[in-house]
Structure 1
Amino acid sequence: MTDPLHLASFFQNSAVQTALWIGALAAILNGTIGVFTVLRQHSFAGHALGDSSSAGGSLAIFAGISALWGFLAMAWLAALAMAVLGLRRAQERDLATGIVLGATLGLSALLLYFDVTLTRASSATVDVMFGSIFALAPQLFWLIVALVGVAIGLVLVLYRPLLLIAADPDLGRAAGLPVRRLEILYLLLLGTAAALSALSIGVILATALLLGPAASGLRLARKPWQSFFYAQAIALLAVFGGIYLAFSSYYWSGGTSWPVSFFVVLLILLCYLATAAWGPARGLQR
């Protein structure tokens, strides 16, 4: 049973309030972009952009600026590099993704070494790889609101073209759509979602927030537009539940809090397993 005092302290804690707001924005964007990613079978690209952003986060810590700028910059650069190196065929796309991923992870290893040895930022590796959502600055909120607002606005305006090229790029070309420009835009949106996921639950686990809710939402939806709302709802449930469980773990684990990222990914996994058992009977057919 929930302790009323415990629940009150949860909502009154300023770090928790910041984590809830920023986590909610990250969940909404990842739930939205994740649906396109699953439909396009771009899971590897989503994973790679999340991991690639680690180099930017490591550089930001070394430079003494907010990790958000580093995550975003490196995710966008990686997205553009993937678009330039190979975008048309699946084989080229996967090869380009692997090359970019390997290069950025190597750079990340070097920068994390500099963080620990030169700046004495002993927690840099944990913060980048597993997130530190309770340590996010409240000043980031409005910047993230703007980022998510622009991204969601673009999705709303270009919903049908993005959905069409996700299902069949060749059909989009036949319809006269600027497929290459739309795919580059999609990759930049994917990079933004991956960067916010990395900021919230860490680079290593960022893929879970991007793909898990979207895959579950597609299993539950009967129509394409429904999958976005299901994915967003599952992502919000996982983030809010993960933050609450991490906060509560302080009281039942002897005064040490468990990582938020662990609980978020655990809840996403449980939702995915639940929809795997129930969803195929009513889910959206590709």
Structure 2
Amino acid sequence: MNLDLLNHILSFQNFGELVVLVRNSIIAGALLGIVGGLIGPFVITRNLPFAVHGISELSFAGASIALLIGINVVAGSLIGSVLAALLIGVLGNRARERNSIIAVLMPFGLGLGILCLALYQGRSANKFGLLTGQIVSVDNPQLGWLLGISVLVIVTLLVVWRPLTFSSVDPDVAAAAGVPVRSLAIVFMLALGLSVAVSVQIVGALLVLSLLVTPAAAALRLTVSPLWVPVLSVVFAVTSVVGGILLALGGGLPISPYVTTISFAIWLVCRIVGGRREKRAAYRRARVADPATVTAGGTGVRAAADEGERVSA
């Protein structure tokens, strides 16, 4: 029984033919990996992972409404994401206010989306795909949408990269230096809204964090370099999405379990490696600070024990 289940999940019959069929999805996945990898470090630095989930719920609601009334699903998803991003960016000046707004928007968006899906009389796969993602749903027009939006987000991030980095690390100092912190926050939220909207089309509304947050979190466990963090984040995100698509071809399952598993595995490895690095660095600092008590073989501790024995004697 277990072998049958494993064969179902990782069966690669006619794999070459299937890869050709999902070529658009692979291209879209690579694009979304680049977008998610670039915007993810800012999401973490600005403490906005919760906002990503809130925006995805409104994006799901917009896509569900579009599916119900028979218009372009990507357009509906974009409208929902942009509205949510604007509300969070304009009204959520402080973290507490922002979290409250997100907590209000999330159940509303999810409830509205579920209502529309309940009223939708079309294919059940379309309903399920909005929540968990699909690998064969990206046609040429949809790929054009994704390409255009991805390029827009990437160009926007590159233009505002330096001031956005400054305002993300220390907004008070950036504001004192004349950086338009408020305007940058709104621009970033709009870019984030667009990124969420296109990501929902591939990984679904429920698991979009695996693309926009987890790769960046993994990269930050390895380095804090402003150059290598986005590079590693992009590599991890592209690997998760494209790898998930290729593995999903082997079984009749949605793409999301594969993407989230790969993404989590990368994060777990990076966390272990980063933790060991931190321990070695702490050990070296302690050794430099007091070499008499911190030595490679623990001789300092042994010497202290011997001294105690002599005193007691």
After TM superposition, the score normalised by the length of structure 1 is 0.88
For residue 192 of structure 2, what is the aligned residue in structure 1?
Answer: 190
For residue 244 of structure 2, what is the aligned residue in structure 1?
Answer: 242
For residue 111 of structure 1, what is the aligned residue in structure 2?
Answer: 116
Runs of 4 or more consecutive aligned structure 1 residues displaced over 6 Å after TM superposition: 2-5
Q: Is the 8 A contact 1:215 1:272 kept in 2?
A: yes
Q: Is the 8 A contact 1:10 1:244 kept in 2?
A: no
Equivalent position to 1:25, from 26, 31, 35:
31
Q: Is the 8 A contact 2:135 2:254 kept in 1?
A: no
The whole-number CA distance in structure 2 between the counterparts of 1:166 and 1:61 is: 37
After TM superposition, the score normalised by the length of structure 2 is 0.81
For residue 42 of structure 2, what is the aligned residue in structure 1?
Answer: 36
Gapped regions of structure 1 (runs ≥ 5): 250-256
The whole-number CA distance in structure 1 between the counterparts of 2:94 and 2:17 is: 53
| Percent identity of equivalent pairs | 32
The whole-number CA distance in structure 2 between the counterparts of 1:264 and 1:191 is: 21
Equivalent position to 1:205, from 192, 204, 207:
207
Query: What is the CA distance between 1:4 and its match in structure 2?
Result: 10
Q: Please, which moves more after superposition, 215-224 or 274-283? A: 274-283
Matches within 5 A, 1:108-147: 108-115=113-120, 119-147=121-149
For residue 69 of structure 1, what is the aligned residue in structure 2?
Answer: 75
For residue 253 of structure 1, what is the aligned residue in structure 2?
Answer: none
Query: What is the CA distance between 1:114 and its match in structure 2?
Result: 1.6
Equivalent position to 1:9, from 13, 17, 20:
17
Query: What is the CA distance between 1:205 and its match in structure 2?
Result: 0.7
Pairing 1:157–2:159 present: yes
Query: What is the CA distance between 1:209 and its match in structure 2?
Result: 0.9
Greater Rg over alpha carbons, structure: 2
What SS does the corresponding residue of 2:105 show, helix, strand or coil?
A: helix
Q: Is the 8 A contact 2:62 2:76 kept in 1?
A: yes
For residue 265 of structure 1, what is the aligned residue in structure 2?
Answer: 260
For residue 104 of structure 2, what is the aligned residue in structure 1?
Answer: 99
Aligned AA (2:173): L
The whole-number CA distance in structure 2 between the counterparts of 1:271 and 1:239 is: 12
Paired residues in the alignment total 269
Q: Is the 8 A contact 1:165 1:172 kept in 2?
A: yes
Gapped regions of structure 2 (runs ≥ 5): 1-9, 279-313
The whole-number CA distance in structure 2 between the counterparts of 1:132 and 1:8 is: 19
What SS does the corresponding residue of 1:176 show, helix, strand or coil?
A: coil
The whole-number CA distance in structure 2 between the counterparts of 1:219 and 1:183 is: 25
What SS does the corresponding residue of 1:135 show, helix, strand or coil?
A: coil
Q: Is the 8 A contact 1:221 1:230 kept in 2?
A: no
Q: Is the 8 A contact 2:24 2:143 kept in 1?
A: yes
The whole-number CA distance in structure 2 between the counterparts of 1:246 and 1:78 is: 31
What SS does the corresponding residue of 2:140 show, helix, strand or coil?
A: coil
Query: What is the CA distance between 1:35 and its match in structure 2?
Result: 1.0
The whole-number CA distance in structure 2 between the counterparts of 1:128 and 1:278 is: 35
Pairing 1:79–2:85 present: yes
The whole-number CA distance in structure 1 between the counterparts of 2:95 and 2:224 is: 28
